[in-house]
Amino acid sequence: MAQVAPVLARSGCKTFFVATLGEGKTLRKLLPDATIYVFAGLMPATAGHYRKYDLRPVLNSSEEIRGWAALSASEGVKLPCAVHIDSGMNRLGLSAEEVDQVAAAGDLWSAFTLSLVMSHLACADEPNHPKSEAQRKTFDRLRARLPKALASLANSAGILLGRAYTYDLVRPGIALYGGKPRREGENPFKPVVHLKGRILQVRKAGAGETIGYGATRTLKRASRIAIVSVGYADGFFRSLSIEDGREGLVVYIGAHAAPILGRVSMDLITVDVTDVPEQLARRGEWVELIGPNVSAQEFAHHAGTIDYEVLTNLGPRAFRRYIGG
């Protein structure tokens, strides 16, 4: 956050969304003038923190709306907030019934400032899914019952659905990091996250020998094996382990492919560098785990997950180098 948020602000972003109140407090110290919304909403005993740090809750229920109205009335200030409408995802947000309940309460809305009405798309990663258009229509119908305010519906994938979904404000998340919002087709965003691991040792092993915990991978040929300093404690998922009879993630040393072998350990992985020139595959050299040759999507595919989880699980032990900030 400390590295990325100021760059976004200098690029023209004036409104930011965070998941939790703690993240909002941290971001406020970095960006004193930004508009900051907190998705987690108005939890019990948090109202004072929103006031102190000039944060805006995303109100997810009629109970939260009444709580924010009460705070505004007690402070004598029309405090700004967002209201989240559930347009069909059945996650956070006001149901249609709740919208009906609060829409007619004029005294409720006069107590605070409704600065944004938002919802969230469930299936925008599938461009032709009918759910997105159904949600858009529901969103329009329900927000028309509330006081006039800016509107926001599109996440990263939603932005790619076209102008009808962008409204006044869009909320790119994975797109900021070059992830792929859509399931199919080319990724329109440039990847910006690279992950490397360092070779601790290169050893030779003969045909018939096994690799790692559980002896789950048996070598079919005499091989050179590189031990790389990364493991599931760093976000290199244990599900990337490769047993006999399976092929999986291939990492790179320069332009040379190096398949993963055996189980992923807490701090180590083992890769086959038999076909990599010895001057490249040696102690102290770097292995590309995510980068130009290994996309986060490819990494995620072999781990049985999505690139969102890959990027959010990169561990704190990795040294982070920010380029161009």
The whole-number pLDDT of residue 203 equals: 97
- Measure the CA–CA gap between 16 and 34, rounded to whole angstroms: 7
Q: What does pTM read for this prediction?
A: 0.92
DSSP 91-121: SSSB-HHHHHHHHT-HHHHTTSEEEEEE---
- Measure the CA–CA gap between 37 and 18, rounded to whole angstroms: 6
Strands 113-118 and 150-152: parallel
- Measure the CA–CA gap between 43 and 277, rounded to whole angstroms: 58
Strands 217-218 and 210-211: antiparallel
Q: What is the signed CA dihedral for 216, 238, 174, 31, rounded to 10 degrees?
A: -150
C-alpha atoms less than 13 angstroms from C-alpha of 98 in its C-beta half-sphere: 17
Take residue 29 and report the two structure tokens written for it: 């110290």
Per CATH, 4-177 and 195-312 having the same topology is answered no
> Per-residue pLDDT for the chain (325 aa), expressed as one digit of tens each?
999 999 999 999 999 999 999 999 999 999 999 999 999 999 999 999 999 999 999 999 999 999 999 999 999 999 999 999 999 999 999 999 999 999 988 789 999 999 999 999 999 999 999 999 999 999 999 999 999 999 999 999 999 999 999 999 999 999 999 989 988 888 899 889 999 999 999 999 999 999 999 999 999 999 999 999 999 999 999 999 999 999 999 999 999 999 999 999 999 999 999 999 999 999 999 999 999 999 999 999 999 999 999 999 999 999 999 998 6
The whole-number pLDDT of residue 98 equals: 96
Architecture of domain 4-177: Alpha-Beta Barrel (3.20)
The whole-number pLDDT of residue 107 equals: 85
Q: Using an 8 Å Cβ cutoff, are 204 and 224 in contact?
A: yes
Task: Tell me the CATH number of domain 195-312, given options 2.40.37.10, 3.30.1490.20, 3.40.50.300, 3.10.150.10.
Answer: 2.40.37.10
The whole-number pLDDT of residue 120 equals: 98
Contacts of 288 (CB under 8 A, 6+ apart): 194, 195, 196, 251, 252, 253, 294
Domain boundaries, the chain: 4-177, 195-312
